[in-house]
Structure 1
């Protein structure tokens, strides 16, 4: 049958190699969707494209039948969203997995391009992925180092011991600005042991201060049970 030969196998091989390279970067970062997921998605997209281009030559010669390979490619783009959505998690207002979901979408595009015979384009996008994944974080750290960053601070403290006032004083004394306060009461049935969950959105900080130092100071505040520092953003 026409469409089964070395050119098609070479397209699948190119997709295999390029998507393996992209998946390797995710695997080394220990992401849930790693080497196997990205490789299989890319090779699968390439196969769909090869099938779309070559699998229907035995029927297009009939009157009134035309071939539109782009229809399968369009379904790849929409269908890959189900896999991408599965790696995105939201926990306590922190979103994780956005970069991995975007990378899955990219390997689908790379596989589609390789399956269509656009090997140079697929290789260029693979190189662009490494530029973004490895080159952008140092640049972002350099930029964010020069401007205040907003981060959540989660504190659990015993109610009725004046801990809230001490917490806010500690935060402001270290040069941080409290932009948002969210409190939730945990009732255990005993008024003397009720806990308050406090989430502070803090920004800035005096020169030379670190968030770890703030956490240690808050942990030593009378009445404070636990302190957890959130992340400004983590979309990996």
Structure 2
């Protein structure tokens, strides 16, 4: 009869199952929010971390007595390895950092799996509950707090899409300066995305019914602003200007982007 080595009993299987359930709960929350790392990624990270912990506890019991080893070194390597996965989830898109929260959640999931594999089931459950308290509770609390009132003057980054050739950018700059903002940087990119009126002018031009301005379309401008004014109020005003298609905000305060 095959004899199992120590560390391969029902207790260890239960610890792996606990890591699977807890990490799957965390991954389900990420998946429902359509994040880059979802249910499968977080579940595999949690179970893998738990298995590494079990290996570090029981996998070296048959090593020769003259060989010295430190089980905690495996745990340290788990932390280093998860850093590579988290780094792959963070990316920069149009000067905005994305994926920071998801990378942090993967790191926490690995810690939950390590706690479950180490037999610290109460800590694993508590940290899983803390994760949901943070992502749901703190997000709701942040939306209720008037943070803009207490936030010091700093940089704000606005990205606007407007119809090119109609003076929209000039009106945007005037509104920014009138509301207490200094324009530090202006970066304009033109997109050849003609709207219906542009296509109508092209058709009339092809029929010889008018000269029209061919090639007119949308343009994208990125503004870096500094000042004590209210960025939400400015965004609301700019979005109502004629020929402004859309306005998005990317703050340079280092907010926690998911």
- TM-score in terms of structure 1 length: 0.81
1:116 is aligned to 2:139: no
Q: Which residue in 2 is equivalent to 1:230?
A: 249
Q: Is the 8 A contact 1:84 1:105 kept in 2?
A: yes
Q: Which residue in 2 is equivalent to 1:23?
A: 27
Q: Which residue in 2 is equivalent to 1:140?
A: 142
Q: Secondary structure at the match of 1:235?
A: coil
Per-residue deviation, 1:2:
1.3
User: CA RMSD, aligned part only?
Assistant: 3.0
Whole-Å separation in 1 of the counterparts to 2:230 and 2:68: 65
Q: Is the 8 A contact 1:45 1:115 kept in 2?
A: yes
1:167 is aligned to 2:172: yes
Q: 1:94 aligns with which of 87, 91, 96?
A: 96
Whole-Å separation in 2 of the counterparts to 1:167 and 1:45: 52
CA deviations 1:17-65 (Å, max 9, x no partner) are 1111111111111112011110110000000110111112122xx3312
- Pick the structure with greater CA Rg: 2
Q: Is the 8 A contact 1:183 1:196 kept in 2?
A: no
Unaligned runs of at least 5 residues, structure 1: none
1:216 is aligned to 2:240: yes
Alignment of 1:1-236 (within 5 A): 1-59=5-63, 62-141=64-143, 142-144=145-147, 146-147=149-150, 150-155=156-161, 158=164, 163-173=168-178, 175=179, 177-184=181-188, 197-202=220-225, 204-205=229-230, 209=233, 211-217=235-241, 220-221=242-243, 227-232=246-251, 233=255, 235-236=257-258
Moved over 6 A (4+): 192-196
Aligned CA distance change for structure 1 residues 162 and 16 (closer, same or farther; 3 Å): closer
Unaligned runs of at least 5 residues, structure 2: 193-214
- The alignment of Structure 1 onto Structure 2 pairs a total of residues equal to 225
Whole-Å separation in 1 of the counterparts to 2:124 and 2:149: 36
Per-residue deviation, 1:146:
3.7
- TM-score in terms of structure 2 length: 0.74
Q: Which range moves more in the overlay, 138-147 or 90-99? A: 138-147
Per-residue deviation, 1:127:
1.2
